[in-house]
Amino acid sequence: MKRILLAAALVATAAYADNAGVEENQGHKDWPSLDEWATAETLKAGTLSAEVLLGYEFVDQSGNGLKNANALITRTRLTYEATNTEGFGAKIQGQYVGPVNDHFAPDDPAYDTVNDPEAFRLHQAYLSYTGYDTHARIGAQEIILDNARFIGNVGWRFNAQSFNGGLVKNDSVENLTLLYAYTDSINGIDGEVNYARQYHLFNAEYKLCEHHKASAFAYVQRNDASADIDTFGARFWGGNDTFVHNAMLAVQRDAYYGYLSGRLDFESTDIELGVEYISGGDTARDQFQTLNGTAHAFNGWADVFLGTGAGIPTGLVDVWLKGSVSPTENMDLIGVYHYFNTAANSPAGTFSGNVGNEIDALLKYKICKNFSALTGAAFYIKGESGSPTPNKTVFWLRGTLTF
């Protein structure tokens, strides 16, 4: 994969630097030459953007003997994206995540954990082509499929997640979108490259009617050591201006997954009720794994159940009620209540019952065109006596400047 990324970078550099030769031989007239980089016209050939994110995160997890985390972290992203008249394009997005202090693990193991370690990387660096009802990319890229439960970008975390590989999507058949991607490795939220999970990703999405869609997917492991967690499933979603529904089923070895939600949309208020089932069991084959999706958006923002990524013996049933309101055009208020229970097929001799409850709250405010802020908190309360998960409180404060 390193060779693929290097080749992509060399091709992109050559395309931009040798504009005269390209115009003469291939007719591409939109690639800027090296001399043109100093002119204002160059920026019109593409989009140059930057983002600076400053965040504070407090974590208090009871019963572990650690100090409360007080993490102050920054992320700086610089992105350049361009396309030409022939349909070819390129995107380069570099980012640096840097802690301002070290009052959190893994920087200091005496504190609770905040999963935003220091890291510098090319988060995305790919070449693309769009034409003939097809879009293709090769290189480091974010991939978000369906509702991001199994394959996503983990956008909440500072390092986020991207995949190294190739992707092709085709819309030649009316109402049908076919996607295939091969990923050689994953740029993880821990700042490291993960070679343990290499995927063949298949996804077919069909527009049933104006307001409803269905998809079928297969996320197949290439490396033999993980071949027994191939994931197959289907999703059905849609709605209108008043009601939106989302349903998904998936199977993995002898493990099962189910998701169902319904949302009522009013002028400035939304109310959602949903349930998610993740199977557990005595053996790893019975424990459903949620792979490399955007886990923070599911099972509570305190991230108590991130272990579902590797399967949990007791399984999990998550029932939630979510409400959101927008008092002004620039303000959003979100509140969520979760009730957690073990799955019915929990292993014999382990805890079975109410795992806990959680209350989440978030306030987002767009202060001006280029600056937005948010603050939020998650309060997880341990369930019945014997529940394996301790109480946990998390608080966030973030500001994002874009230009």
pLDDT value at residue 28: 42
Q: Is the pLDDT of residue 7 over 50?
A: no
Domain presence at residue 135: yes
Instruction: Give the range of the structural domain holding residue 152, as residue numbers without chain letter.
Output: 52-402
Identify the weakest region by mean pLDDT among 218-222, 227-231, 267-271: 227-231
Q: What number is the average pLDDT over the span 189-193?
A: 93
pLDDT value at residue 6: 44
Residue 26, token pair as written in the block: 């291939």
pLDDT value at residue 303: 95
Alpha-carbon distance of 96 to 81, in angstroms, equals 18
Q: Is the pLDDT of residue 142 over 90?
A: yes
Q: Is the pLDDT of residue 4 over 50?
A: no
Residue 156, token pair as written in the block: 């909440």
Q: Is the pLDDT of residue 388 over 80?
A: yes
Give the pLDDT band of residue 40 (cuts 50, 70, 90).
Answer: very low
Measured between alpha carbons, how far is residue 308 from residues 196, 289, 319, 347 in Å?
A: 17, 6, 16, 16
Residue 367, token pair as written in the block: 């202060």
Alpha-carbon distance of 403 to 400, in angstroms, equals 10
Domain presence at residue 349: yes
Domain presence at residue 90: yes
Q: Is the pLDDT of residue 41 over 90?
A: no
Q: Is the pLDDT of residue 307 over 80?
A: no
Q: Is the peptide bond before 390 cis (omega within 30 degrees of 0)?
A: no
Domain presence at residue 36: no
Q: Report yes or no: 300 and 380 within 8 Å, Cβ to Cβ.
A: yes
pLDDT value at residue 8: 44
Residue 350, token pair as written in the block: 């382990």
* pLDDT greater at residue 314 or residue 331: 331
pLDDT value at residue 221: 85
CATH of the domain at 373: 2.40.160.100
Domain presence at residue 11: no
Measured between alpha carbons, how far is residue 65 from residues 56, 60, 61, 289, 403 in Å?
A: 22, 10, 9, 29, 43
Instruction: Name the strand (E) or helix (H) holding 248.
Output: strand 243-252
What would you report as the CA-atom Rg of the chain, rounded to the nearest whole angstrom?
23
Domain presence at residue 65: yes
Closest among 225, 230, 261 to 244, alpha carbons compared: 261
Residue 71, token pair as written in the block: 């993490």
Q: What number is the average pLDDT over the span 146-164?
A: 95
Count helices and strands (H / E) in the chain. Answer: 3, 19
**What secondary structure does DSSP assign to 281-320, as a single string?**
-SSGGGS---TBS-GGGSS-TT-TTGGGGG--TT-EEEEE
Q: Is the pLDDT of residue 26 over 80?
A: no
Q: Is the pLDDT of residue 42 over 80?
A: no
Question: What b/e string do you get for 62-74 counting C-beta neighbours within 10 Å, with b at 16 or more?
Answer: eeeebeebbbbbe
Q: What number is the average pLDDT over the span 79-96?
A: 92
Q: How many domains does the chain have?
A: 1
Mean pLDDT over the full length of the chain: 88
* pLDDT greater at residue 141 or residue 267: 141
Q: What number is the average pLDDT over the span 310-339?
A: 94
Domain presence at residue 42: no
Strands 176-187 vs 199-209: parallel, antiparallel or unpaired:
antiparallel
SS3 198: coil
Q: What number is the average pLDDT over the span 230-239?
A: 96
pLDDT value at residue 242: 94
Give the pLDDT band of residue 327 (cuts 50, 70, 90).
Answer: very high
| Entry field: residues in the chain | 403
Q: What number is the average pLDDT over the span 194-206?
A: 93
pLDDT value at residue 177: 98
Domain presence at residue 337: yes
Instruction: Name the strand (E) or helix (H) holding 129.
Output: strand 119-131
Q: Is the pLDDT of residue 291 over 90?
A: no
Closest among 97, 112, 111, 127 to 192, alpha carbons compared: 97
CA-based end-to-end distance of the chain: 32
Q: Is the pLDDT of residue 353 over 90?
A: no
Percent residues over pLDDT 90 in the chain: 71
Closest among 93, 97, 84 to 55, alpha carbons compared: 97
Identify the weakest region by mean pLDDT among 37-41, 250-254, 302-306, 318-322: 37-41
Q: Which residues contact 307 (CB under 8 A, 6 or more apart)?
A: none
pLDDT value at residue 30: 52
Per-residue pLDDT of 53-85, as tens digits, reads: 999 999 999 989 999 999 999 999 999 999 888
Give the pLDDT band of residue 114 (cuts 50, 70, 90).
Answer: very high
pLDDT value at residue 306: 86
